[in-house]
Amino acid sequence: MTATTPLQPAADNVLAVDGVTVRLNGRMILDDVTFAVPPGGFCGLIGSNGAGKTTLLRVLLGLINPGSGQVQVAPSRERGGVAIGYVPQKISLDGDLPLRARDLIGLGLDGQRLGTGWPSRNRRNAIQDMVEAVGAARFADNRVGNLSGGEQQRVMIAQALISRPRLLLLDEPLANLDIRSAAEVVDLLARIARDNGVAIVLSAHDMNPLLRAMDQVVYLADGRAVSGTTDEVIQSGTLSRLYRHDVEVIRAQGRVLVVSGGDPADTDGLHHPGRAV
């Protein structure tokens, strides 16, 4: 079955995933995953190491064909534009790279062409608008390799958004950020979703930094998924059925902890089992 096909114009969702199953080298990696994200939706793809988050993102990007099921992505708003913006995991930019932050953002305009585009007023304006939209004005002329992790994330988000995709996928963008930088990136993404109607799917192993913004969760464990609102999914009963053993959801001081019956291995190392928040 085709991995990505255009949505019917009447459909409301930017992304619709229906019964996606993936086997790699004979192993079930994703098992009947179904969810949909509307315009402006902020969807957290939550799961521990090896749960299948990156594999699912690769399916959404059309890089892996599911064995069964299908993915529908709304087409780009503009002719020749891109439907999906993507911020990959583990960006590391060499300090010697002779590229300013604004140059890297501009490369996002050239994704469909070979080589960089010619400088033009439109191009410069588009880059400057994006620099301001992600709060990167202070460091836009710095070498990218000299930026902090949080600053680099802003630049990569700007690069992914400059071609105005309707769907933005981010693979563990908070992994190397401190609490404050993570909160700033999450607030930025929430604003982009709200103001521009961009649908966001963001993978993370810790849901806590996302609680302030995400309106939808796809929770993965061993390739199986439950999806719904945060309140629907992050519940002891729902997650116990997903994990196929008893887990408890504890809420304390605005944070969520998913705890298994004492053996840390039972939770796949998730959310520091048994430890106080």
Ligand X SMILES: Nc1ncnc2c1ncn2[C@@H]1O[C@H](COP(=O)(O)OP(=O)(O)OP(=O)(O)O)[C@@H](O)[C@H]1O
3-state DSSP assignment of residue 235: coil
Which residues touch 227 (CB under 8 Å, ≥6 apart)? 34, 35, 216, 217, 218, 219, 233
Minimum CB separation of residue 74 from ligand X in Å reads 24
CB closer to ligand X, 43 vs 105 = 43
Calpha distance 131→159 (Å, rounded): 9
Minimum separation from the CB atom of position 33 to ligand X (A): 12
Q: Give CA–CA dist 189/34, Å, rounded.
A: 23
Token reading at 242: 């997903």
Residue 248 Cα distances to 39, 229, 261, angstroms: 32, 18, 8
**Min separation Cβ 45 and ligand X, Å:** 8
Looking up tokens 């400088």, which residue turns up?
A: 119
Distance CA 271, CA 260 (A): 10
**Whats the size of the chain, residue-wise?**
277
Nearest to ligand X of 163, 227 (CB atom)? 227
- Find tokens 């999450």 and name the residue: 186
- The DSSP code for 215 is S
Q: Which is nearer to ligand X, 44 or 52 (CB)?
A: 52
CB of 64 to ligand X, least distance (A): 9
Tell which residue, 55, 47, 112, has the closest CA to residue 267.
Answer: 47
Nearer to ligand X, 156 or 162 (CB): 156
Q: For residues 82 and 270, which CB has a smaller minimum distance to ligand X in the complex?
A: 270
Nearest distance from C-beta of residue 277 to ligand X, angstroms = 21
Site for ligand X, rule CB under 6 A: 24-25, 27, 29, 47, 49-55, 205
Min dist. Cβ of residue 10 to ligand X (A): 32
| Residue 25 or 253 having the CB closest to ligand X | 25
DSSP assigned state of 160: H
